[in-house]
Structure formats: C-alpha cells, structure tokens
Amino acid sequence: MRKPRDYDAELKALDEKARELKARKVQQLGDLVIATGADQLSTDELAGALVAIAETKDAAKREAWVKRGVMFFESRSRRTAPASGRNERSAPAQSGSPQSPASGSGSA
C-alpha cells in the first residue's frame, strides 16, 4: 500500500518557497535601483518614473529602453570578474527596464 501524501506539509513547503522567491525578487529590485543610481532619486520621483514606464504603450520607446538596459548590463558585466558566476540579466527584476526612467531620459 502506498504512503498517503501529506498535503499540509507540501502546502507549507510551497508557501515557504513562494516567500523566499518574493524576498529574492525584492532584494534584486533593490540591487537594481542601487546599481542604476536611482537610489539618488526621491521615492516619489522613482515611483512616478516607474508608473510612467508601466503605462507607456509606445513600442519604439519601450524598445529603446530595452536596448539601453541591455547596454547597462553588458557594461556592468565587463566591469565585474567573469568568474563571479552571477548572471545579472537573468534576474526577473529588470523586466520592463526600469533603469531608463532613473537616468532621466525616455520617460513618457
């Protein structure tokens, strides 16, 4: 006879994993804000820039932001040791390229 599944333990483990992923996402967003220099902006400025980029539907602007974000991460990876083992572009935190509004150009 098979051993019965412990659904409560599985749900608890999934909940813990979800909390860890959320904490990692928040940490990566904070790291991105600092890395881009956006930590020099006020909270209101940063929030306004993020709202503006989230509301922007102009594909050309968004593509320009993507290219600028790629260039940012490529320049950072050249400055860091290649043996570090970190691939900062794989972080989910940078979807939407929030670094461009922090630089002061391209915001809607």
Report pLDDT for 100.
43
Instruction: Give the whole-number percent of the chain exceeding pLDDT 70.
Output: 72
Give the pLDDT band (50/70/90) at residue 3: confident
Most confident residue range from 6-10, 15-19, 93-97: 15-19
Is there a domain that residue 105 lies in? no
Range of the domain at 54: 8-76
Span 14-47, pLDDT tens digits: 999 999 999 999 999 999 999 999 999 999 999 9
Number of domains the chain contains:
1
Identify the sign of the CA torsion 66, 67, 71, 77.
positive
How far apart are the C-alpha atoms of 69 and 101, rounded to whole Å?
11
Instruction: Count the alpha carbons within 13 Å of 36 in the hemisphere toward its beta carbon.
Output: 27
The pLDDT mean for the chain works out to: 81
Is there a domain that residue 101 lies in? no
Is there a domain that residue 40 lies in? yes
Query: pTM of the predicted model, to two decimals?
Result: 0.58
Burial class (CB in 10 A: 0-12, 13-18, 19+), 4: exposed
Is there a domain that residue 97 lies in? no
SS3 78: helix
In this structure, are residues 92 and 32 in contact, taking their beta carbons and an 8 Å threshold?
no
Is there a domain that residue 36 lies in? yes
Is there a domain that residue 93 lies in? no
54: its two tokens: 């989230």
Is there a domain that residue 33 lies in? yes
